[in-house]
């Protein structure tokens, strides 16, 4: 029984409790009261993005050896951070399944399934933790994606804060989402001889799914915030 699974379970419970108590911590504005579930869900996602994105940056800063060996190096803090993220994605999966219709959430449910499988391998095998930490750098952009949704729900579209967030969101999207996923795909291709076939297959499928999804989302953001 992997201790990492205890961290996953604890993370699931913690994010579930946070989700339940968020309306008291951050009461929804009148414009968001019709969709209280989504308000709570986005704030929970924002909390995870701040924790995991900041944690991934700190992990590479504190453990530079991670960037040299993405497969075998697994400092306890980095391993725990990946396990915490698995717990969050499981919680978010359950939350969407219980509160949204399938046709509204199938893309995110599919995305979460891929992430849970890939990160779960890293947690259980104590391998590819560095690779998973690179993937968590994407969450730095997710901070601004979630802030954008919060501002939209709060009816603050025509504000300086929203316009500034849109610019930062687009910049971090290119750097921490598109460029990071491209680098991960390249690394996987160059190191295919050192990765077991089953793991290589999972990683390749994951990258093949994530890349077009992120390009489509980038186009939607451009069209919505800049070309409308």
Q: What is the mean pLDDT of residues 132-155?
A: 95
Question: Which pLDDT tens digit goes with each residue over 38-52?
Answer: 999 999 999 999 999
CA distance 165 to 146: 10
Q: What is the mean pLDDT of residues 48-61?
A: 95
pLDDT value of position 228: 66
**Which residue is associated with the tokens 């297959």?**
201
Instruction: For residue 205, give every residue at least 6 positions away whose Cβ sits within 8 Å of its Cβ, in sequence order, or none.
Output: 114
pLDDT of 4 strictly over 70: yes
Mean pLDDT of the chain: 91
CA distances from 222 to 46, 89, 151, 167, 194 (A): 21, 26, 17, 10, 38
pLDDT value of position 116: 94
pLDDT of 212 strictly over 90: no
- Residue 1's pLDDT band, with cuts at 50, 70 and 90, is low
pLDDT of 173 strictly over 70: yes
Please say whether the beta carbons of 81 and 59 come within 8 A. Answer: yes
pLDDT of 188 strictly over 70: yes
**Total number of domains constituting the chain:** 1
pLDDT value of position 12: 97
pLDDT > 90: percent of the chain? 63
Helix ranges, the chain (H): 3-25, 36-62, 65-68, 76-99, 102-125, 129-136, 138-153, 160-172, 179-190, 197-225
CA distance 217 to 222: 9
Range of the domain at 101: 3-226
- How far is Cα of residue 120 from the mean position of the Cα atoms in its chain? 14
Q: What is the mean pLDDT of residues 167-193?
A: 91
CA distance 147 to 142: 8
**Structure tokens that stand for 163 in this block:** 């316009």
Q: What is the mean pLDDT of residues 46-66?
A: 94
CA distance 100 to 38: 9
Instruction: For residue 16, give every residue at least 6 positions away whose Cβ sits within 8 Å of its Cβ, in sequence order, or none.
Output: 91
Please say whether the beta carbons of 99 and 85 come within 8 A. Answer: no
Question: Which pLDDT tens digit goes with each residue over 9-22?
Answer: 999 999 999 999 98
pLDDT value of position 155: 93
Question: Which pLDDT tens digit goes with each residue over 75-130?
Answer: 999 999 999 999 999 999 999 999 988 888 888 898 899 899 989 999 999 999 99
pLDDT value of position 211: 85
Helix ranges, 26-35 (H): none
pLDDT value of position 21: 92
């Amino acid at each position: 029984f992997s201790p990492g699974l205890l961290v996953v379970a604890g993370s699931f419970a913690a994010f579930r409790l946070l989700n339940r108590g968020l309306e008291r911590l951050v009461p929804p504005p009148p414009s968001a009261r019709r969709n209280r579930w989504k308000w709570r869900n986005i704030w929970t996602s924002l909390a995870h993005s701040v924790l995991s994105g900041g944690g991934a940056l700190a992990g590479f800063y504190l453990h530079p050896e991670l960037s040299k060996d993405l497969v075998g190096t697994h400092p306890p803090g980095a391993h725990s951070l990946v396990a915490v993220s698995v717990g969050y994605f499981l919680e978010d999966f359950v939350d969407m399944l219980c509160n949204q219709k399938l046709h509204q959430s199938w893309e995110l449910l599919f995305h979460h399934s891929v992430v849970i499988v890939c990160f779960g391998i890293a947690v259980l095998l104590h391998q590819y933790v560095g690779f998973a930490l690179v993937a968590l750098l994407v969450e730095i952009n997710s901070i601004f994606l979630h802030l954008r949704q919060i501002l939209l729900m709060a009816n603050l579209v025509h504000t300086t804060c929203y316009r500034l967030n849109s610019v930062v969101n687009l910049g971090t999207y290119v750097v921490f989402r598109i460029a990071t996923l491209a680098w991960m795909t390249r690394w996987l291709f160059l190191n295919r001889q050192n990765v077991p076939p089953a793991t290589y297959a999972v990683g390749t499928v994951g990258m093949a799914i994530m890349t077009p999804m992120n390009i489509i989302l980038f186009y939607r953001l451009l069209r919505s915030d800049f070309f409308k």
